[in-house]
C-alpha cells in the first residue's frame, strides 16, 4: 500500500498490487485505547482480554481498572500512574456513585495527553496524533454541546480550573483543547471483542488514513489471534472482504451501513463533516433493500418505501402500485420510535424493551417491510439480543424456538445487504448455529404451522450447516492468516463436534437397520 491524495477525499491508502479477500492489510496495536465503564471490571485494561479463570487483579490504588496479571499491570503503568491519581480525585468529587468514573471518551483523551507528554511533543508518536484531521473550524451545531462537555470534563479530570492550565501538555488555549477533542471524535474506532461486541474506544493514526465508503472493501476488526502475545493485544487489523485491484483505494465504513442512505448521510455529516459521494450512494439505481417492501401483488418483487415527500411506490418487477402508503409510513414511524425507546431501555428495563420489540416487529412485517429494511432489521437484531440474554434464566422450548427464529430472521436480513465475508454476517450465522446446537429442553414435534426450527437430528444438521457457513465467512472477515480469529476457531470446534455427533447418529441408524430382521416372504 501507499499513501496518495485524491481531490475528492484527501489522503488515503491505495493498493500497489492486487489483494485477495481474507488478506490482512494492516496489523497494529492502537496508539491509545480504553474500555467502556461497564467492562472495566470484566476485561483487562492492558490487553482488553476477558477475565481469565483465575480472575482479574484490581489496581489497589484507584480500584477502577483491572488486569490479567502483574505483567499486564506493569505494561500499563507507563500511563496509568497518571490516570490512577486522576481517577481517585474524580471519585472523591463525584456527586454520586454512578458518576464516580469518567466516561471512556474522557479517559481516552486523558491517556492521549499523558502519553503525548511522556513520549515528547516532538516524538513520532505525538506527531502522528497531531496529524489526525480536526474539524474544529467546521463543527456542526449538533456536536457543540458534546465538545463543550468533553472540554469541561477533561479540565476537571486533570484537576485544573481552566484549559489555559493545560500548557504542560502542549495545549496553550481552549482552541487547542477543542482541536484535540475534534481529532479524537473524528478518528476514534470502536474497540471490539472477537465477536464484535463494542468494549471501548481506540485511536490509530495509521488506520485513520483509510477513507470511507458505504460499500467498503475492507473492515477493521480485533480478532485476537492465537499467534499474538498478550502484550501485543488488542491487535487492530484491517482485513479485505472483497478482492481489491491494483491502484484501487482501500475503503472501510465509518458508520453502520445497514442504515438507509438518508440516515447514513446525517451521521457522516454530524461526526465527520462530509457528505458521502461513494459509488453506492451516488448510483442509487433500483430498490435499496434497506428501504424496501414486498410487492402488494406478491409477485416476488420489491417496492421502494413510500415517504411523506413521495408517496407513489411501484413494484420494480410487475409495476403494481402500493395503495396503503399511509399505513406503511405510519408503521415505519412507529417502528423508529420503538427502536429508539427499546435501545435506551435494553440495559435499564429488559422486560419493557422486549415487549416493545415483540409488539412492533409484527406490525412492520404486516406492513410488508422486507427483512433487510430499516427499522425492521435493527429491531430484529435488538429483539434477538434481548431473547439471547434471557435464555440462561428461562430456557424453555418455546423461548429457545423464538430466539432461534429471531436469529434466523436477523441473519437473513443482514445477508440481503452486506457482502459475503463481512464479519457482521459471519457473527450472525455463528450465533444462529450455536442456538440451533443448544440441547432442546423438551424435544417435541414443531408447533403446527411452524416449520422452523426443526427438532432432533434435522436440527443438528441445520446447526452444522449454519456453523460451516459462518466459518467460511469469518475466515474472510477476520483474516485467513488468523484462521478466522478467536471466534472462527470456536466456530470450527463447534462444527467439528456437531459433525461427530451427526456421524454417531447416522451410524446408530445404520446399525438399527442392519440389526432389524428382514421380513420373510410368505410361501
How many CA within 13 A on the CB side of residue 311?
Answer: 9
- Considering the domain architecture, whether residues 79 and 177 belong to the same structural domain is answered as yes
- Considering the domain architecture, whether residues 223 and 158 belong to the same structural domain is answered as no
Cis peptide before 237 (omega within 30 of 0): no
Task: Say whether 196 sits in a helix, a strand or coil.
Answer: coil
CA 167 to chain CA centroid, Å, is 37
Domain membership flag for residue 132: yes
Domain membership flag for residue 6: yes
Domain membership flag for residue 304: no
- Considering the domain architecture, whether residues 38 and 177 belong to the same structural domain is answered as yes
* Domains: count for the chain: 3
Domain membership flag for residue 332: no
Encode the chain (523 residues) as per-residue pLDDT tens digits.
999 998 888 899 999 999 999 999 999 999 999 999 999 999 999 999 999 999 999 999 999 999 999 999 999 999 999 999 999 999 999 888 888 999 999 999 999 999 999 999 999 999 999 999 887 777 667 677 888 899 999 999 999 999 989 999 999 888 899 899 999 999 999 999 999 999 999 999 999 999 999 999 999 999 998 777 778 899 999 999 999 999 999 999 999 999 999 999 999 998 888 899 998 898 877 899 999 999 999 999 999 999 998 999 999 999 999 998 999 999 999 999 999 999 999 988 989 999 999 999 999 999 999 999 999 999 999 999 999 998 888 888 889 999 999 999 999 999 999 999 999 999 999 999 999 999 888 755 555 566 789 888 899 999 999 999 999 999 999 999 999 999 999 999 999 999 998 887 776 656 656 566 666 655 4
Residue that terminates a domain, selected from 258, 275, 292: 275
- Considering the domain architecture, whether residues 171 and 43 belong to the same structural domain is answered as yes
- Considering the domain architecture, whether residues 94 and 176 belong to the same structural domain is answered as yes
Domain membership flag for residue 350: no
- Considering the domain architecture, whether residues 184 and 212 belong to the same structural domain is answered as no
- Considering the domain architecture, whether residues 47 and 75 belong to the same structural domain is answered as yes
Residue that terminates a domain, selected from 275, 300, 320: 275
Query: Which residues share a beta bridge with 35?
Result: 200
Distance CA(463)–CA(441), nearest Å, equals 16
- Asked whether the beta carbons of 342 and 357 are under 8 A apart, the reply is yes
In the numeric block, the cell 467546521 is attached to: 138
Distance CA(325)–CA(335), nearest Å, equals 15
User: Residue 8 sits in a domain of what CATH number?
Assistant: 2.170.270.10
Domain membership flag for residue 385: no
Domain membership flag for residue 216: yes
Distance CA(368)–CA(294), nearest Å, equals 5
Whole-model pTM above 0.75? yes
- Considering the domain architecture, whether residues 165 and 226 belong to the same structural domain is answered as no
Task: Say whether 228 sits in a helix, a strand or coil.
Answer: coil
Q: Look up the domain containing 447 and give its range.
A: 391-515
- Asked whether the beta carbons of 441 and 400 are under 8 A apart, the reply is yes
- Considering the domain architecture, whether residues 39 and 25 belong to the same structural domain is answered as no
Which pLDDT does position 450 carry in this prediction?
66
Distance CA(304)–CA(325), nearest Å, equals 11
* Edge-to-edge strand list for the sheet holding 24-28: 24-28, 236-240, 218-221
Question: Which of 84, 67, 82, 145 is closest to 112 using CA atoms?
Answer: 82
| β-pairing verdict for 211-212 and 251-252 | parallel
Residue that terminates a domain, selected from 169, 191, 213: 191
Distance CA(202)–CA(99), nearest Å, equals 22
Domain membership flag for residue 363: no
CA 98 to chain CA centroid, Å, is 26
- Asked whether the beta carbons of 477 and 485 are under 8 A apart, the reply is no
Which pLDDT does position 146 carry in this prediction?
85
- Considering the domain architecture, whether residues 129 and 85 belong to the same structural domain is answered as yes
- Considering the domain architecture, whether residues 169 and 73 belong to the same structural domain is answered as yes
- Considering the domain architecture, whether residues 74 and 178 belong to the same structural domain is answered as yes
Provide the terminal-to-terminal Cα distance of the chain, rounded to the nearest Å.
82
Angle separating helix axes 376-390 and 325-345, nearest 10 degrees: 40
Amino acid at each position: 500500500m501507499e499513501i496518495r491524495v485524491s481531490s475528492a477525499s484527501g489522503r488515503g491508502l491505495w493498493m500497489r498490487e492486487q489483494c485477495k479477500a481474507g488478506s490482512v492489510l494492516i496489523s497494529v496495536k492502537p496508539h491509545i485505547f480504553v474500555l467502556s465503564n461497564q467492562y472495566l471490571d470484566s476485561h483487562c485494561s492492558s490487553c482488553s482480554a476477558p477475565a481469565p479463570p483465575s480472575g482479574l487483579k484490581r489496581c489497589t490504588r484507584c480500584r477502577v481498572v483491572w488486569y490479567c496479571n502483574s505483567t499486564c499491570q506493569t505494561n500499563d503503568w507507563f500511563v496509568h500512574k497518571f490516570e490512577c491519581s486522576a481517577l481517585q480525585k474524580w471519585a472523591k468529587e463525584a456527586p454520586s456513585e454512578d458518576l464516580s468514573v469518567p466516561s471512556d471518551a474522557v479517559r481516552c483523551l486523558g491517556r492521549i495527553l499523558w502519553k503525548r507528554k511522556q513520549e515528547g511533543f516532538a516524538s513520532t508518536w505525538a506527531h502522528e496524533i497531531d496529524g489526525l484531521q480536526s474539524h474544529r473550524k467546521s463543527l456542526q451545531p449538533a456536536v457543540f454541546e458534546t465538545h463543550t462537555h468533553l472540554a469541561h470534563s477533561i479540565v476537571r479530570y486533570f484537576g485544573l480550573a481552566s484549559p489555559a492550565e493545560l500548557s504542560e501538555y502542549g495545549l496553550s488555549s481552549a482552541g487547542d483543547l477543542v482541536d484535540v477533542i475534534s481529532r479524537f471524535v473524528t478518528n476514534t474506532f470502536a474497540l471490539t471483542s472477537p465477536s464484535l461486541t463494542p468494549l471501548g474506544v481506540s485511536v490509530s493514526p495509521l488506520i485513520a488514513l483509510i477513507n470511507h465508503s458505504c460499500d467498503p472493501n475492507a473492515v477493521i476488526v480485533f480478532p485476537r489471534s492465537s499467534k499474538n502475545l498478550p502484550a501485543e493485544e488488542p491487535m487492530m487489523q484491517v482485513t479485505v472482504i472483497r478482492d481489491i485491484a491494483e491502484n484501487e483505494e482501500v475503503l472501510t465504513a465509518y458508520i453502520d451501513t445497514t442504515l438507509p442512505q438518508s440516515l447514513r448521510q446525517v451521521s457522516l455529516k454530524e461526526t465527520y463533516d462530509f457528505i458521502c459521494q461513494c459509488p453506492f450512494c451516488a448510483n442509487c439505481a433500483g430498490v435499496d433493500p434497506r428501504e424496501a417492501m414486498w410487492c402488494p401483488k406478491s409477485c416476488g418483487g420489491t417496492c421502494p418505501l413510500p415517504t411523506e415527500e413521495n408517496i407513489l411506490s411501484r413494484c420494480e418487477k410487475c409495476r403494481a402500485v402500493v395503495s396503503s402508503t399511509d399505513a406503511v409510513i405510519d408503521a415505519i414511524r412507529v417502528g423508529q420510535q420503538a427502536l429508539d425507546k427499546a435501545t435506551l431501555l435494553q440495559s435499564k428495563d429488559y422486560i419493557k424493551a422486549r415487549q416493545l420489540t415483540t409488539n412492533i416487529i409484527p406490525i412492520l412485517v404486516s406492513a410488508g417491510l422486507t427483512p433487510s429494511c430499516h427499522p425492521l432489521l435493527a429491531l430484529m437484531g435488538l429483539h434477538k439480543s434481548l431473547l439471547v440474554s434471557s435464555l440462561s434464566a428461562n430456557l424453555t422450548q418455546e423461548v429457545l424456538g423464538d430466539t432461534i427464529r429471531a436469529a434466523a430472521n436477523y441473519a437473513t436480513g443482514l445477508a440481503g445487504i452486506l457482502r459475503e465475508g463481512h464479519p457482521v454476517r459471519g457473527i450472525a450465522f455463528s450465533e444462529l448455529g450455536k442456538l440451533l446446537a443448544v440441547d432442546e429442553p423438551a424435544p417435541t414435534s414443531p408447533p403446527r404451522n411452524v416449520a422452523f426450527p426443526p427438532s432432533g437430528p434435522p436440527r443438528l444438521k441445520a446447526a452444522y450447516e449454519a456453523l460451516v457457513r459462518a466459518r467460511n465467512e469469518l475466515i474472510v472477515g477476520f483474516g485467513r492468516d488468523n484462521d478466522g480469529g478467536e471466534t472462527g476457531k470456536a466456530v470450527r470446534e463447534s462444527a467439528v463436534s456437531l459433525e461427530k455427533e451427526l456421524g454417531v447418529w447416522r451410524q446408530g441408524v445404520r446399525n438399527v437397520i442392519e440389526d432389524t430382521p428382514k421380513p420373510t416372504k410368505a410361501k
